[in-house]
Structure 1
């Protein structure tokens, strides 16, 4: 073990988790920057294909090593649905990142946590209290603040904002499906199915707007896909290392990164509506995260007593 590795291992779990979460935010920012930079020449559908292809290539050694065990499942229908929702959600989010300021798109992407509240009640059958319902409603009020007022006060809800909201809903569906599937599936099986089916489902969208990339663009598209996979890997490591309630606020640092990159590279200046609405959404999702953490801890203490 190197000196740096020993120093990292000596840090507290929450500090290690925060570093992993910061790395995830940086990887996500690189990915979204490349999505926007390459948006003029490559459609959201084509970019999604390259994103899924990179993820599949990274998981290919695991698939070859475990073969049939990597695809072992008793619920293929749910896995197919989850992969389809995830692929469509990715495509819609890429479209939003291409056509919206990065800070605005990032802020709307956090509504995934808000969608999880009604989905937890209707799909998983969880009981949700009045505080979580109020927090979710407050968060959606923050969305209205971001997307409704514009210059002069006109209604400013466009296709990119709708695409990001729909994408967040679809990603919430995949998270809800994951909660169900993890009861009898290993995480590796879920990753392999998502990567393999995601690649297959992304082919039609890529063929509709197919364009052969230049060597430079191919390298950038591949880097975009690798950064997408790294984002997920670093996020999982961060959540595993640290306390979930402590890690959740760190994830919002990507709003700062997105605003900085948008300003420096694309001359994007967040409006006051974006800042106010994003603050409401962030506060609401943080409250939901902390509330769920507190309830989970209380249940663990009750079961141990």
Structure 2
């Protein structure tokens, strides 16, 4: 495919705009159902849409290597568990900052697992990015707890999924990859709902019960929000994939950080959620480090 930077940039900005909008509603969904029920419901809505897309000839649902698709999407699904889970407890700016440490972890995995040699500039970018992590996810006036580091694990597993995509899933179709992530998230969801039904823990009310709540019959608003999430995810990820197919990945990756504009912007417009100075500084540092790594990785 020819290099079309303007088209790629447009696709990526549209993708981040959609995802930045729909992910803000996770905190609303968390007041009613659990993370596990949300993932199961989203799978039940998203997979039929993918089947419809495949039926009309826009892709195939048959993987070339099933084990590779399952492994890659297992990593990504775990990353999304940590990311979605953190959205119920912290501002979206912090959760996104943790998730978008993925390029830093990709570089570290490349060095320590695959023996890739990197220059001083990318090593500096890693150190600079980790300082940004400390700034944006570190202690605030409420102190430091394990919750501060939840989105960081999201970034780690998302990075593992990114490496697996490049190493073992490069020939798989977009539809297969989307179906894989939706399917595995649905399996995670139904398994955890089954375990919670056995253990029957006492779940706090509202968002605090997002991880411990068992199956409940959702409110009407929740059904609509999950449907919006399912459709929006397919649209957002679809544009993201088209962006990476339209230009060099190192160029496209920089525009992915526009999520730091749209996510907090919609959080402010919809819920009055503001970004502190520390969070803003940390986000800029992480985005700068990730962009530098992406641009230098082209070489």
Q: Give the TM-score normalised by structure 2.
A: 0.82
| 1:129 matched to 2:116 | no
- Counterpart for residue 60 of structure 1: 51
Q: CA deviation at 1:231?
A: 1.6
Out of 281, 285, 294, which is 1:289 matched to? 294
Q: How many residues align?
A: 277
Distance 1:38 1:182 in 2: 32
Kept in 2: contact 1:95–1:160 (CA 8 A): no
> C-alpha offsets along residues 258-281 of structure 1, whole Å, 9 cap, x if unaligned?
222222332222111101111111
Distance 2:252 2:77 in 1: 26
| 1:38 matched to 2:38 | no
Query: Where do 1:209-220 residues align within 5 Å?
Result: 209-220=214-225
Structure with greater Cα Rg: 1
| 1:106 matched to 2:96 | yes
Distance 1:229 1:132 in 2: 33
- Counterpart for residue 81 of structure 2: 91
Distance 2:173 2:114 in 1: 19
Name the one with the larger helix percent.
1
Q: Give the TM-score normalised by structure 1.
A: 0.81
**Stretch deviating more after TM superposition (16-25 or 204-213):** 204-213
| 1:162 matched to 2:167 | no
Distance 2:81 2:226 in 1: 14
Secondary structure of 1:93's aligned partner: helix
Distance 1:252 1:185 in 2: 25
**Stretch deviating more after TM superposition (49-58 or 172-181):** 49-58
> C-alpha offsets along residues 169-217 of structure 1, whole Å, 9 cap, x if unaligned?
1111111111121356455444443333332232123443211223332
Q: CA deviation at 1:111?
A: 0.4
- Counterpart for residue 223 of structure 1: 228
Residues 74 and 226 of structure 1, relative CA distance in 2, 3 Å threshold: closer
**Stretch deviating more after TM superposition (197-206 or 219-228):** 197-206
**Stretch deviating more after TM superposition (133-142 or 184-193):** 184-193
Out of 264, 271, 275, which is 2:276 matched to? 271
Distance 2:54 2:184 in 1: 13
- Counterpart for residue 13 of structure 1: 4
Residues 178 and 42 of structure 1, relative CA distance in 2, 3 Å threshold: same
Q: CA deviation at 1:63?
A: 6.2
- Counterpart for residue 3 of structure 1: none
Residues 175 and 65 of structure 1, relative CA distance in 2, 3 Å threshold: same
Query: Where do 1:254-269 residues align within 5 Å?
Result: 254-269=259-274
Secondary structure of 1:99's aligned partner: coil
| 1:239 matched to 2:226 | no
> C-alpha offsets along residues 232-257 of structure 1, whole Å, 9 cap, x if unaligned?
11111122223434433322222122
Residues 211 and 124 of structure 1, relative CA distance in 2, 3 Å threshold: farther
Residues 124 and 54 of structure 1, relative CA distance in 2, 3 Å threshold: farther
> C-alpha offsets along residues 47-72 of structure 1, whole Å, 9 cap, x if unaligned?
22233333322222466689xx8444
CA-based RMSD: 2.5
**Stretch deviating more after TM superposition (104-113 or 273-282):** 104-113
Distance 2:144 2:240 in 1: 31
- Counterpart for residue 143 of structure 1: 133
